[in-house]
Structure 1
Amino acid sequence: MNDQDAAIATADIMPKLHQQIAQKGMSFERFYAPVSLCCPSRVSLLTGQYAHNHNVTYVDGPYGGYHTFCEKGYNEKYLPLFLQNAGYATYYTGKLMNGLNTSLIETCQPAGWTSSEFLVDPNAYMYYNPSFSSNGQPPVNHPGQYSVTLIKEKASAMLQQAISDLNSSSTEKEQTPFFLGIAPTAPHMEVELSGAFTEPKPAPGDENLFDGVTAPRTPNFNVQGGVSWVKGLKQLNGTVIAYIDHVYRQRLRVMQAVDDLVDSIVQQVEDAGIADNTYIIYASDNGYAMGSHCRQPGKSLPFQEDTLVPFMIRGPGIPANAINTDDIYSMPDLGATILGMANASASYQLDGKVMSFSGDNSVDVSESGDSSSACSSTGQQTIVEYWNGAGEEGIFGDVLTILRGGLRENTTYRSIRALDMDDSGNIKHDWAYGVWCTGERELYDLINDPYQINNLAINDASGFDSFNFSTSDMTKLASRLDALLVVLKTCVGEVCNNPWQAIFPSNSTSSGSEACVMGLSDALADTYDSYFESLPKFSYTVCQFGYLEDLESPTWTEAMAFSG
């Protein structure tokens, strides 16, 4: 999905999704967008890499969009090509990524697809006049036809073709497995030809659903907080709140057509008798915020509303009606997992790890990681990155930001989520820690402060270059999280999955009589205080759009690792 936060993927909003996928499979409470923006997050799925490695970091301009994807050569080395190399037929309908237009369809047609029906700009976000390019042909407009319904019809036809090809094989060995990507733009705002963002438009018959429903009045709704430009936002007035409630209802309404799409596709799979050997996955590229921390509708910030997205999966080996509460995953992990399921391989090192889908964390669909390590990590973590301006959507976006092209500056940051378990396997720590290009820091205790209201970092005008937190214990904790962030911000491959081993390389040789630092709890031991205090703290030279590694320091090296 496009811009669907986890909070609007619940059973009361999308009952068919839950009946068909969540209740027959597993849902995840901690699945994150690696960048809280659609194009870079989608590229992370298609490449299995974090944005600091694929460097497609925005939706257009010199830093992102489909043209940047092509310029960097990814159209020659990404998910569908890897799947085809493993013998899969590949199908796709809907939005691939921002910036796929008529010109690029001609000069850089998306490679690796057996059959495709791509939404094409500038009509990609128009609910009642979408444009589709069929298998690289010039796009065709569909005035008056509903985008999600068209995608359901196109996906159904592709699925039927894939099933027919399976059934036409004389032996199981000759059967061609398939991958089908279905990507409606719902519940994204409608984007008009002028570039204006207006409310999403529901399917015929759904216009009056959810009457009287309002955006959730969470503890952070219309409450000031955050850093950089966010902390200066004024409280929303009644007119703006009424508009937010209206847009929220529209988002729920457009998701009803998506719910029907899910139901239809799953039923088609079941009717074909292939459900027992088919994985069906539901996910979104990034989240969406409405009213939290006094915000206009939009995304791009490191808050949970922007970054936490729905993820559900059913299929062979996955327990029914299971909820994973103990793992952290992100879009690169999904890319790696799809390749692992297909016994396919990438032509480069993946940052993502193959996900565990067992109900008791005892059996994985496929194992990953370095089994030679003597220490197994109890800590889990992921990184959320951003290097561009933040757009405000809807009719009440800040006037000055609109005059400047619709972007707020100083929205460059790195933020991590760090989870740690106790000896019984229960969650002991769940932290969000981040550093902004302004020098400001954020530290939130997600167990006791899930709505990120109480920033434990002290950011006064004279302290941006210092390392100040609310208590000495918080300063000690932040020194560990800062080191973890420094490792993750340039991590490649296995280091992304086990950054603690980069910090403590002796983990790989530790025996039962030696200390293993397997997660945050172990790293908080007093014996490591002086080491973490001595490490240079992460900072930016300047706020600037685009990922430029020389503006961020330090870069982790082996010489910075703990040596005993």
Structure 2
Amino acid sequence: MCYVKSFLKIFFLLIIIIFLPPRYAYSSYLNDFSPSQQDAINKAISEDEDLGELIEYAPDLINFEEIFKDYSFQPSLIFNPGDANGDGIVNMMDYIIWITFYNKPYSPTSNVNPDFNNDGKVDGTDFVIWLGNYNKFYPTPTNVPFPTPTLRPTYTPTPTPRSTTSVTPTPKPNIILIVSDDQRHDSIQKMPFLNSQQENWFRFQNAFTNVSLCCPSRSTILSGLFSHHSGVEDNGSKRYFDENDNIVTKLDSAGYTTALIGKYLNKWTGETDEPYTPPGWDVFTPFMDPISYFNYKLVEEGVVKTYGDTPADYATDVLGQKALNFITEAKQPFFLYFSPYTPHSPFIPAPRHVGVDLSSVTLPPNFNEEDVSDKPEWIKNLPKRDPQEMLKHLKNQYRMLLSLDEWVENIYTALKDREIAYKTVIIYIGDNSFSHGEHRIVGKMCGYSYCNQIPLLIRYPQNTGRVINNPVSNVDIAPTLAYIAGVNLMNVDGLSLVPLLNGSTQPPDQPSRGILTHWGGTGVYELPHFWGIVTDKWNYMELATGEKELYDRVNDPYELTNLANIPEYSQIQSRLRLDLIDLMNQ
């Protein structure tokens, strides 16, 4: 009778795993962590909001063992991912050990441990953990060093010096930098005002982020440095960002009135959680962690103010009004860094947009990619995502962008009302993109376009807008701002985009250009480190596991067919690899 009950319990657990979305299948053990383990998770989330995002929507992409090691001082809290015999792989041998001890008195031994969540019981929760990690290797490939020594950048004290000095007409132009959060590159078409500005804005069709994660991307935008040069490679490394030498301090020294309104950098207050004003900012109104759309905190004139949950408290609207007030009153020339949380999770539209009809929105062809035989092992191990859940999140992101679009229009109208639109440059950029199940991935930090390709539009009042297809990067924003303002920003990795705005077909410093993409951050994410290069035609990447990927971006825009290691593409792959190494070591 006991064996019958055991069989039935396992059978129903299998049904749960097979037929329920991963989010719900995993929740049975996410809620079963010990209080100390939950404390470690909460501490990790407080430092990295994107970690909480994946725990909510795709926990299979989280390495809980790494969280417990990094955020707990008690070795007993270390999470066992299902490797009962400690041989480095989760397989049927571990299942046999689990079933042997199932529902029996168990004391930890040095040889085996089927109590995978360390709660003192060998039960169905441990089976769910084993099944969720079946056929995975531990330690994960994320922590494996690069197999090829040439694919390590040669670190130098500073990048290759490049000056951004320029001759700028006086008076200096005002500059508005609008940074959205987790916005997909193709979502501008869902923003009525921006989408209607076909003639007035330059629209960059091939803009990419160096590292597809909030803190690294925003550090790159402000510094002009690759993340492996700035040291800010994940959301927990803000401390490496040089607050004394960046585009803001340069603009401040040049006489600009500077303001940040919205999101600054993840965990910017450090361990003290005490607000301060970084060098260079005249007005500094950032979110305090944790960030949300209701019941959040802003720092206003050095004082923390708490907002509530009424429609008037919706964060994008509150920040938009503050941005509007600044540009209406600020002494010129001014620099506004307007950085709402939109459309980052939680996916909460403004109350006025909740019911907007988006029934025509569908998921792309690479959603839940069926044939992943040519993809790396980590993709093969991913579960398929729930299409209804992913579509709901995508639609809500689009609804959230409607409020931001309204404030972009309001800002532009205010510039015209103040009669300064003719001397104000506006740059609109996303910090990184977001995948809703493309290639079965939820989130970012991967090498595919749905992680790295971002929206970028520039209103440059001297010239009529047009489409620009040249590959560009968020590393180019700081040099562009420096060129426009006539300030000198040394030791940058990026290039000014002003020559493109003035009609050049290629940046003069680099006539044939590839864009460097990278992930080399914390091991709490179950995504392998990689280096990649994106051109107008190709996307090539090398993973820390030794696996390689090559996609034809023109003929295969959804990156369904991996061309790496196919003989007829060997010359292209070799050339891209050399270009990648050059980029890594510049």
Q: TM-score, normalised by structure 1?
A: 0.68
- Note if 1:133 corresponds to 2:310: no
CA distance in 1, matches of 2:244, 2:498: 29
Aligned counterpart, 2:70: none
Aligned counterpart, 2:535: 418
Q: Report if aligned partners of 1:49, 1:350 keep a CA contact under 8 Å in 2.
A: yes
Q: Report if aligned partners of 2:252, 2:258 keep a CA contact under 8 Å in 1.
A: yes
Aligned 1:185-196 pairs, distance under 5 A:
185-190=341-346
Residue 101 of structure 1 deviates from its aligned partner by 3.9
Q: Deviations over 1:533-563 (max 9, x none)?
A: xxxxxxxxxxxxxxxxxxxxxxxxxxxxxxx
| SS of aligned partner of 2:535 | strand
Aligned counterpart, 1:52: 228
- Note if 1:26 corresponds to 2:202: yes
CA distance in 2, matches of 1:86, 1:360: 24
| SS of aligned partner of 1:416 | strand
- 2:554 corresponds to which of 447, 451, 461: 447
Q: Report if aligned partners of 1:106, 1:136 keep a CA contact under 8 Å in 2.
A: no
The RMSD of aligned alpha carbons is: 2.2
Which one-letter code corresponds to 1:337 in the other structure? T
Aligned counterpart, 2:216: 40
CA distance in 2, matches of 1:368, 1:136: 43
Aligned counterpart, 1:343: 486
Aligned counterpart, 2:75: none
Structure 2 vs 1, CA of residues 94 and 86 (structure 1 numbering), >3 Å: closer, same or farther? same
Structure 2 vs 1, CA of residues 351 and 358 (structure 1 numbering), >3 Å: closer, same or farther? closer
Structure 2 vs 1, CA of residues 139 and 387 (structure 1 numbering), >3 Å: closer, same or farther? farther
CA distance in 1, matches of 2:467, 2:389: 34
Q: Report if aligned partners of 2:230, 2:240 keep a CA contact under 8 Å in 1.
A: no
Bigger relative CO (Cα 8 Å, ≥ 6 apart):
2
Aligned 1:81-480 pairs, distance under 5 A:
81-101=249-269, 106=274, 109-122=277-290, 124=291, 126-144=292-310, 145-162=313-330, 165=331, 176-190=332-346, 200-219=347-366, 221-225=368-372, 226-236=375-385, 240-295=386-441, 297-320=442-465, 322-325=466-469, 327-346=470-489, 348-356=490-498, 358=500, 361-362=503-504, 369=509, 378-388=511-521, 407-408=525-526, 410-419=527-536, 430-457=537-564, 469-471=565-567, 473-480=568-575
Q: Report if aligned partners of 1:281, 1:312 keep a CA contact under 8 Å in 2.
A: yes
Which one-letter code corresponds to 2:512 in the other structure? G
Structure 2 vs 1, CA of residues 381 and 134 (structure 1 numbering), >3 Å: closer, same or farther? same
Q: Deviations over 1:277-311 (max 9, x none)?
A: 1101111000011121123x311111011111111
Structure 2 vs 1, CA of residues 104 and 153 (structure 1 numbering), >3 Å: closer, same or farther? farther
CA distance in 2, matches of 1:87, 1:22: 33
Q: Report if aligned partners of 2:211, 2:227 keep a CA contact under 8 Å in 1.
A: yes
Q: Deviations over 1:415-463 (max 9, x none)?
A: 10134xxxxxxxxxx1111110001011111121111111112xxxxxx
Q: Deviations over 1:316-336 (max 9, x none)?
A: 32313x1112x1110111111
Q: Report if aligned partners of 1:26, 1:357 keep a CA contact under 8 Å in 2.
A: no
**Structure with the bigger percentage of helix:** 2
Residue 227 of structure 1 deviates from its aligned partner by 1.5
CA distance in 1, matches of 2:393, 2:454: 19
CA distance in 1, matches of 2:474, 2:447: 15
Aligned identity (percent) is 26
Q: Report if aligned partners of 1:52, 1:490 keep a CA contact under 8 Å in 2.
A: no
- Extract unaligned runs of 5+ from structure 1: 166-175, 191-199, 370-376, 391-404, 420-429, 458-468, 492-564
Structure 2 vs 1, CA of residues 289 and 215 (structure 1 numbering), >3 Å: closer, same or farther? farther
| SS of aligned partner of 1:443 | strand
Paired positions, count: 403
Which one-letter code corresponds to 2:407 in the other structure? L
Structure 2 vs 1, CA of residues 235 and 142 (structure 1 numbering), >3 Å: closer, same or farther? closer
Which one-letter code corresponds to 2:354 in the other structure? E
- Extract unaligned runs of 5+ from structure 2: 1-179
CA distance in 2, matches of 1:445, 1:201: 35
Structure 2 vs 1, CA of residues 77 and 378 (structure 1 numbering), >3 Å: closer, same or farther? closer
CA distance in 2, matches of 1:234, 1:221: 8
Which one-letter code corresponds to 1:475 in the other structure? S
Which one-letter code corresponds to 2:379 in the other structure? V
| SS of aligned partner of 2:514 | strand
Which one-letter code corresponds to 2:546 in the other structure? G
Which one-letter code corresponds to 2:534 in the other structure? R
Residue 315 of structure 1 deviates from its aligned partner by 2.3
CA distance in 1, matches of 2:482, 2:397: 32
| SS of aligned partner of 2:181 | coil
CA distance in 2, matches of 1:94, 1:203: 16
Runs of 4+ aligned residues of structure 1 deviating over 6 Å after TM superposition are none
Structure 2 vs 1, CA of residues 264 and 305 (structure 1 numbering), >3 Å: closer, same or farther? same
Q: TM-score, normalised by structure 2?
A: 0.65
Q: Report if aligned partners of 1:67, 1:99 keep a CA contact under 8 Å in 2.
A: no
Q: Report if aligned partners of 2:234, 2:522 keep a CA contact under 8 Å in 1.
A: no
Which one-letter code corresponds to 2:297 in the other structure? S
| SS of aligned partner of 1:444 | strand
